[in-house]
Each structure stands twice: as C-alpha cells, then as structure tokens.
Structure 1
Amino acid sequence: MPLCSSCGRNTFIPRVAVDLPRLHDRLRNEAGPASVQPDEVTSVLENIQRDLEDYESEIYRLERLRQEKERLEQYATRLRSLLSPFRKVPDEILRRIFDDCCDMNSFRVVHPRNWLPVHTSQALRSKPALVISSVCSRWRRNALSMPVIWSRISLYWDIQAAEYCKDEHAEMFFPLSNFLDRSQQCPMTVNLEIDDYPFSTPGVLHPLLEQLFVQIVRWQDFSFDCMEYSFQKLLDCDRIPSAAFLVLSKLCITDYYVDDNDLVPFLDTAPNLQSLRLGDVFDGVPRVLKNYSQLSHLDFCPRWTDIQNLFEICPNLSSLRITELLRDCNAVGSTMIICSSRFETLAVRHGGWPSNSSADRLVFPLLNLPSLKTLHLETCKPEGNVKGRDERTPEWWYFKPFMAFVQRSSFQLTTFSVQQISICDANLVHILVHLPTLQYLTVDNDDIPQEYSPISLDFIESLHSYRFSSLRPQAGSIIPRLRSLRLLNVAAATFNDLSVVEMVQSRWSPTGLHKVGTSALEVDCLRVFTMTFRNRSEADAGAVYSSLAPIERDGMMIVVQMLGQAGQ
C-alpha cells in the first residue's frame, strides 16, 4: 500500500484515476483495429484489482477501528457510572426507597380478546417489584432480600375458569407463584376482585386462585370484592385450608350485597383485626361487631341509632369514616351528644342522598370529639350521579351544623382536608379561624366549578400572614401553625398569581417571626406548598412563580402545576 507523501502514514492512495466521462466517450465513439489496445487496458485492470484489494484492507482496518471505538465508548460509559451519586446511597436507604415505590403488584386474568396491544409492557409496569429487580445486579440483590415488596398482590379475575390457558397467560403474566415464593413468610397485602366464574369444577377453586388461598395464614391486609359469590363460598372449596387469619389487621369488604354473613368467616379467627371497611350499602352496624371490640378504625354507612351505641360497642375506636347523613332516623328527637376522649381521626362523606334530606338525619349534631386531630370532608358518589355531586344543589348544605360541631368539640385539630365539597370562600375562612392549631391543610376542587370553589383571590389574601382581607378584617394571622398547604385542581382559567406568591413568601419565616412596622407576628414557617390548576397552561402564569425559587433552594418544597389548556 503506497504511503502518503505529506505525512508518511500508512494511508491508502489509489493507483488509478477514475475518469468515467472519458471512458464513456471512448466506448461510444472509438472503433476499428486502432481502438483496441490490450496492453494498456490490461495494465489498468491490474492496477484496479490492486486498488480494490487495498480498499478491502482499508475497510477491514477501519471496521476494526470502529469496533474499537465502540468498545471504548462502552467502557467510558460504564466507567462514568462509577461517579453516579446514586452509588453513594447505602443499601439500607435503597431498600427504603424500594419499599415506598412498590405499592401493589397487580395481576389481571382476563380473556385474551380483552388484552390490549401493549399488554406485555403494561403487565410489567403493574408489577413494580419485578421491574425494580430487573434493573441491575445490585437492585436485584436488594429486591430479592425484601420479601415485603413481593407480598403485596392484587388479583383481578374476569374469565371463565374453563377458558383459562396457562401457556397463553404465562406469556403475559409473570407467574404468581414466583411472587409468593419470593415473599417467603412475610405478612401479605391481598386485594381480590372476582367478576367471573372462579371454579375449575364445582366446589374446586381454580389452581391460580388456590395458590393465593393456601397462604391465608399470612394475610395481613385483605380486600374482597365479588358480586356473585360470598367469601365463605370460596373458603368452602376443596383443598383450601381451614381459615385462620392470625395476622389479619385490616379487612375491606366492598361488594354490593355485603351483610353480616360476609363477616362470619372472620369471627374468632382474626384476633388482631384493627381496621374494618364495609360497603356503602351495608345497613348499619354489623350484629357481629361486638366480637371486634379491639377495632381502632371503622368505615361504614351507619344508622342514626348506630352512632349512639358505636363507642360502647367499639371502645377502642380512634378513627371513623362515615356518611354525612344517617339511615333510618326514626328516633329523631333525641338530643344525646356522643363524646369520646380517645377519638383522633374522622372522615365524613358528603352526598349519596337526595338534596331535600332533613337536617335531623345529619351526623354532626350527635358528636362531641374533643381529642380529634384529623378531620376530612370528602364527597362520596351518590346513587345515579356519575359526577359524584348533586347538580341541583351545588352548595354545601350543612355548614352551620358543622360549625356547631367544631365549636362544641373545641378540639386542637392538626390536619384538615376538604375534597370535592362546594363551600364558599367566606365559610372556609370562617372554619379556619376556629382551627388555630392547624398544621396541614388540603383543599381539593376536583369536579367543582370555579363559581362554587373556595379557592379565590379573597381566600388567598386571607392566608397572608399579616395583611388584612375582605374575609379576614381582624388583626393577626389565621392558622399561624400552618406547615403544609395544598390547593389542588383549581378550575380558574385565570388567577392572580402574584397574590399567591406574596402569600407564600409571607409564610416563609425560618425564625418564626415576621416584623411588620414596629411589631412582630409569630407565624410558623411554611414547609410545603402545592397548587395545581386543571384548566390553565404554563404560559398563562408566565414567570411569576419563578420568584419562589430562592425559597425553594432554602428548604421549602414547592410544586405549582398547570394541568391543562384554558378553554379545553
């Protein structure tokens, strides 16, 4: 191979200068004996052949250089991984992160005709323990050392047992048995929803479901939803061990026809049951509830008389989730006030009843809870109302009875949330004025029109640490102990964002004092602020919220999101 004359490197220089136009002209015009020059053509062909061989050698050399380059790039990429800050995270913290990320591993057994085109990737995403264990050897080692992330299983069954094909479903679903094996003897969280025939033969549960049921002794948190079959009927199947829920602490039965019989399998078999959740149509306190006097949390739809006896039946009750309106109030007229000194958490579900319901059916006048720490007002789905809100009466009807309950109880509330409740801004501010110990406030306006939303400019200005507002003419800050403020799903297409920024800045006080003129106001430092808009784009707010960046760098967690385009 000729050397390059300029640098002397082993660089290929062609021997033949390619002149295609001249050759093309000769082929078209030259003819006769004089045009045939075999020696010249032969010499050129030989040089061409040597050039081709040199080209092949050069291509081979360049291909090797390319492969070497790729190898070095891969080596450099892996070498840079040694500098990753995440490698400094100890395994103990890594496992804590895994525990937080791996909520439930979901299995959906449905007929192949209902599979989505991207079912494989969806099946993987629904099993976070499997995804985490597939990243690298270190993550896999830590994931396999954590039985708890494999023990959280949700199984949805919507297929005739006779139509189940093990081979077809094995391609789509990671075997349930692997999760059960990797969970070892760890207490389990099991969510079971059955919408079709679960028996392989009458009286014999399908083998896939049987795998789950043979682990009954490990069930710690169990949720069951089935329209056609009672849980007892599943337990009566052959090859299912005698039920002994020795570690069961949370039980949720939400099928439409739930009654006392659904709790019979757990009588005298669940000595550690602490939390019980029943369907919204359960007619009052279960008769067997007296067997669960150790309960600390109860979620159900009570009668009027149930509330009177509730704390006697469950003396250890500290948390309750009930409907705002009570069933079967035939004993109206009693002024009995139920008082509990142990009670700390109350969730009241608004809706689900006709708008003309009598105020005598309301739960608030019956309660006096001086030790309450957490209070949630939320909306449940009324019958026949898809939106979850009675369109005929958008306002919250029972503000005055609720305020009477607040003033009567005189509790030192630390957590308060209002979710999907149509309450005016003035009423919400009035409530907050009576909650001076509040630390965590959440207002969620999902599905609430802006005209019925409490998150207004006046409300924002009322939260300012030292300014007056039309809703708060008195001096001093409301909720001075506030540390977390979450305003979610604001429906407004436009908003005074500057007022929001100024309010947040006024509550950023690491020293706990705000100087206003010659006086000082004591206000706790706001640590978390979240605000989301559901009908605005990022361009609507401009760069107003960027002025909060210095506060965020100093330690406040700030999240402001525009979740939609105005007008859509």
Structure 2
Amino acid sequence: MPLCSSCGSNTYVPRVAVDFLGLHDRLRTLSGPASVQPDEVASVLQNIQRDLEDYEVEICRLECLRQEKERLEQYATQFQSLLSPFRKVPDEILQCIFDDCCDMNIFRVVDSKRRLPMHSSQALRSKPAMVISSVCSRWRRNALSMPAIWSRISLEWRMNATRDYCEDEHAQVFFPISNFLDRSQEYPMTVNLDIQTDSFLKPGVLHPSLEQFLGHIVRWQDLSFNCAVYSIKDLLDRISFPVLRKLYLSTCMIEEDLIPFIDTVPNLRSLSLVNHDDFSGRFTSFNFKLLSHLDLAPNQADIQDSFDQCPNLFSLGITESWQDSRAEGPMKGPYSSRIEILTVRHGCCWSVSDASDSVFPLLSFPSLKALHLENSESGGWPIKKYWNNFKPFMMFVKQSSFQLTTFSIQQLSISDANLVYILVHLPTLQNLTVDDISPDRSPLSSCFIENLHGYHSSSLHPQTGSIIPRLQSLRLLNVAAKTFSDLSVVEMVQSRWIPTRRHAVGTSALEVDCLREFTLTFLNRSEAEAGAYRSLDPIERNGMRIVVRMLKKEGEEEEEEKD
C-alpha cells in the first residue's frame, strides 16, 4: 500500500489521480481513430481496480477499528458503573425500597368488542413487582427472593364471557397471575377481587378468576371482595381463613353472608362493611375481642354496642349520616376513650340530607389523634352545594377536646373561611392533607394560603401567630382553585422552613415548628407553569421533602424534580 511521502504515515495515497474535468473535456472533444488509446485506458483501469481493492481493505480495517472502539466505549461505560453510589446500597436496604415501591399488582380484564385480551395487552406499569424484577440481574435476584411483593394481587374483571368464553384464552390471561402466585411462595397474601360480570359457565361453577385464588385461600391475610354475582358465602364451603386479619366487603347480607363467615376467621382484626342490610340487634351476636378497626354505616342503637363488644377497638370508620336517624326515642350518643383514628365518609348520602342527620353532634372521642373526612366513592361527582354539616362538626370538635395530630379532607365543598376556622381549633395539628374538589367550591384559595403563613396575620385570622404552629407535613392535592397564587405558596413554605427548629417540636406557643414535607398536585396545569416553585430548590436541597406535580389537560402527569 503506498504511503504518504510528506509525513510517512499510514495514510493511503491512491495510484490514480481523479480528474473529472479533464476526463469530461476529452470525452467531449476527442473522436476518431486517433482518439482511442487502449493501452492507456487499460493501464488506468487496472490502477483504479487496484485502488478499489486497497480501499476495500482499508475500509474493512477501519470498520474493525470502529467496532473495537464501540466495544471499548461500552466496556468503559460498564466498568464505570462500578463507581455507582447505588452499588454501595446493601441488599437489605434495596429490598426495603422494593417493598415500599410495590403496592398492588393489578390485573385488569375489561370488556371490548374483541375477544378476551391477551397478557401482552395488559399494562406492565400496573405490576410493580414485574417491573422491578426486569431491570437488572441484581434487582431480579432480590425481587425473586421477596415473596411479599408478589403476594399483593388485585384482579379487576369487567368482561362478560357468557357467549365467547374460551378456555385457552383464559389460560393465557391467567398465566401471569399463576406466575405471581407461585413466586409469592407461602407468604400471607393481600387479595383484591373486583368481579363485575354476569354469571356464566355451568351452575355451581365459580368464575375462573376466583378459581386461581381459591387454591391459596389458606394464606389470605387481607381480603377486599366486591362482586356483583357471587357473595362471600360462595367461598365458605372451600376452607377456613386461618390467617385473615383484614376483611372488606362492598355488599353484605348480615344474616346470610357475615354471620356464617365470621366463624371461619378467628384472627380477624379489621372489618369494613360498606353496603349492608340492617345491623340493628345483630352486633351483639359477634364476639370481636381481637377487632381493632371497624368500618360500617351505623345505626344509632348499634354503634355503642360495637364499642362494648370490641374492647380493643381504636380505629373507626362511619358514614356522615345515621341510618334511621329519625327513629323514635332519645338518640344515644356514642362515647369511647379508646378511639384514636376516625374516618368519616361523606358524599351523595349527605348531599341530600340536612344537618339533623349528622353523626357529629353525638360523637365524643377525647383520645382521637387522626381524623379523615373522605369521599364515599373514589372519583365521585363534586357536590353541588356547600357542606351543610360544618356546625355539627364543630360541635364534635369542641365537645371531644382531643389533641389531633393528623387531619385530612377529601373533596369537601367548604369555604376557605370555614376551613381556617376548623384549623384554628386544631392547634396541635402536625399533618394536614386537603384534596381539592372543584374550581367553583375549592377551599384552597389565596386567602387560605396566607393563613398558613408562619407569622403573618390575615383577614380570616387577625391574631398574631400561625393557626397551626406545629405543622410538619402539608399536602395540597388535585388543586383546581381559580384564585391560587403560586408566589403566596412559595412565600408560605419559606416562612415555615426553620432548620434550627427541626428537632425542637412545640417548645413555644408563639413560634412555628419547621415544615418537613410539602406536596402540591395541580389539575389542568402544564409543566411550564411550575417555574415559580424553582425558588424552593435551595430548601429542598437543605432537607425539606418537596414534591410538585402538574397534571396536563391531556391527562399526562408531569413531575418536577423535587423528590
């Protein structure tokens, strides 16, 4: 191969100098017998052929060098991974992170015009255990060694298979479920069965989705059962529930379903009955000495009986209105010095009722630590009018005289002034969560934000000092308020960031504690509108946990790098 004469390097020098202009000129002007010079053309073509062969060899050599370069770069990248800080995390801590990240593995089978959906059509993101185990060999090894993350399974069935049932297609849908059941080994299971379909197959034959789980029924620990066709009694002739501790029933017939079922759950700790028939006179037949949580729609005559029959009860969930609230005779006010957690469900039931139906004036829980006002249905319709149980609720707060540390409200139509008034009467509050409801009836106004300021007074709270001085965690979710001021929020958070008081809680009634966590979720806003919250970055770097999420109009959630 010819070398470069000027530098002596391996740079290739061609034998034939390419001169297209000279060649074109000869092609245009020369003709006749004298213009044909076979020896010259043959010599040039021979040199060109040799040059092409040499070029091909050089290209192959350079291609090999390029491939070697890519291999070397890939090796360097992988070798540099040895310095990754995450490699310093022990497997024990990694498994704790996995356990926190893997909540429920959800399998959905929805109705469609096509035949039964295959496994490939199911979203992988709804199965966190499968996602984590697919990242790398180390993550997979740790995930497979954790039966707990595979034992939390939720099945949502929305397909009527009466006409088009196909055993082979069902086998393909349920294969991943059986895979999860196998990987969960003998670990106690959390099972959520939401079956909304017509009865089909043969009489007495259960839905194939239930058949998958019934083989592991002895290790069900938490069970949520919502089925339009089958009742809980359909499972009774199978086997008992020796480790079941938590039971949620969306629909329950006391006499037919619950009473026979209770004998099969000797270790029950939590019982939730959302829709049930009349409970009156039947609670005394139960002996729930181990029960610590009870959730039901109470009758006035029954709720005190629940306290008497459940000596270890410390958590209670009830509806906001009594059943049979206009029953004859004096109303008995339930009292319990043991209740520490209270969840009150509001929604369509109280939207058509008046304040005389409210449970609040009759309740008295002096030991209450956490209070949650929740919507009766997730994703329920916003209420068309303001909350009409504000005054009964304040009666409950004042007569209980509790020292509340956690308070949350979800989709409650309440004015900002009433919400501030409630918080004024909760000076010991440490954790506050407000889930917004609609732009027209939102309590999350700029005036409300000003009242959360660490030291400024406002028109709703002219007194000096903050309304909730012990606040450490503030979560404002699904904010849809029209008068929301981003700058006011930033200023409020900054006023509560007091690093010197992170370890000094409640030492002075006139000073506020340091805010440790702030979460803000917007509706119908884009990422571009989050610029005002960039000024919170220094606080986030210094220790406060800050999460800001924007939900676009298209429904796509964008998360700022705040966590």
Could you tell me whether the CA contact under 8 Å between 2:521 and 2:549 is conserved in 1? yes
Tell me the amino acid that sits aligned with residue 272 of structure 1.
N
Aligned residue runs from structure 1 range 370-409, under 5 A: 370-381=366-377, 387-391=380-384, 394-409=385-400
For 1:323, the equivalent position in structure 2 comes to: 319
Residues 1:146 and 2:135 are matched in the alignment: no
Number of residue-to-residue matches in the alignment: 547
Q: Which residue in the other structure is 1:254 paired with?
A: 250
Q: Deviation of residue 26 (structure 1)?
A: 4.5
Is 1:419 matched with 2:410?
yes
Q: For 2:401, give the aligned amino acid.
A: S
Listed as ranges, the matches of 1:229-308 within 5 Å are 229-234=230-235, 236=237, 242-255=238-251, 258-264=253-259, 266-280=261-275, 282-284=277-279, 287=282, 290-308=286-304
**Per-residue deviation at 1:168?**
4.6
User: In structure 1, what is the equivalent of residue 126 of structure 2?
Assistant: 126
Report the residue type matching 2:187 in the other structure: C
* 1:43-68: CA deviation from partner (whole Å, max 9, x where unpaired): 11211211111011011101111110
Q: Any idea what the Cα deviations from partners look like across 1:423-455, whole Å, max 9, x if unmatched?
A: 12222222112212111111111x3234x3222
SS of residue in 1 equivalent to 2:123: helix
Q: Distance in 2 between matches of 1:117 and 1:10?
A: 62
* Distance (Å, rounded) in 2 between the aligned partners of 1:205 and 1:381: 28
- Distance across 1 between alignment mates of 2:54 and 2:539: 67
Return 486-495 or 177-186, whichever deviates more.
486-495
Q: CA deviation at 1:470?
A: 1.3
Deviation at 1:532, TM superposition (A): 3.1
**Aligned-partner Cα distance in 2 for 1:354–1:524:** 36
Contact 1:529–1:558 (CA<8 Å) still a contact in 2?
yes
1:94-105 to structure 2, matched below 5 A, reads 94-105=94-105
Q: Which runs of 5+ in 1 are unaligned?
A: 237-241, 514-518
TM-fit CA distance, 1:166? 5.9
Deviations 1:119-160 (A, max 9, x none): 737432222212211211111111111111111111233352
1:448 and 2:438 matched: yes
CA distance in 2, matches of 1:17, 1:2: 13
Whether the aligned pair in 2 keeps the contact of 1:162 and 1:200 (CA below 8 Å) is no
Within 1, Cα distance between the matches of 2:43 and 2:156?
80
Per-residue Cα deviation, 1:12-53 (whole angstroms, up to 9, x for no partner): 222122334544554565443323322112111211211111
Give the match's secondary structure for 2:14.
coil
- Name the counterpart of 1:488: 477
Percent of pairs with identical residues: 66
Give yes or no for the alignment of 1:216 onto 2:217: yes
* 8 Å Cα contact 1:161/1:206 also seen in 2: no
CA contact (8 A) 2:415 2:443 kept: yes
| 1:7-46 equivalence runs, <5 A | 7-24=7-24, 26-27=26-27, 30-46=30-46
Question: Which deviates more from structure 2 when the two are superposed, residues 339-348 or residues 316-325?
Answer: 316-325
Residue matched to 2:227: 226
Aligned to 1:239: none
Q: 1:323 to 1:50 in 2, by over 3 A?
A: same
Alpha-carbon distance between aligned partners in 2 of 1:399 and 1:532, rounded to the nearest angstrom: 26
- Asked if the contact 2:280–2:301 (Cα under 8 Å) also holds between the matched residues in 1, the reply is no
Residues in 2 aligned to 1:469 and 1:315: alpha-carbon distance in whole angstroms: 45
Aligned to 2:6: 6
Counterpart CA distance in 2 for 1:93 and 1:317 is: 34
Structure 2: gaps (5+ residues): 503-507, 555-563
* 1:334 corresponds to which of 320, 323, 330: 330
Cα deviation, 1:74-108, whole Å, max 9, x if unaligned, reads 10110121111111111011001111111112223
The correspondence of residues 525-544 of structure 1 with structure 2, limited to 5 A, is 525-537=514-526, 540=529, 542-543=531-532
Q: Work out the CA distance in 1 between the residues paired with 2:46 and 2:421.
A: 100
Contact conserved, 1:107 with 1:173, CA < 8 A, in 2?
no
- Provide, for residues 198-228 of structure 1, a one-character-per-residue CA deviation record: whole Å limited to 9, x for no partner: 7654434466642320111000011111112
Residue of structure 2 in register with 1:366 after alignment: 362
CA distance in 2, matches of 1:206, 1:164: 11
Confirm or deny: 8 A CA contact 2:439 2:482 kept in the other structure. no
Determine whether 1:563 maps to 2:554: no
- Give TM-score scaled by structure 1 length: 0.87
Q: Which moved more, 1:280-289 or 1:552-561?
A: 280-289
Whether contact under 8 Å (1:258, 1:279) holds in the other structure is: no
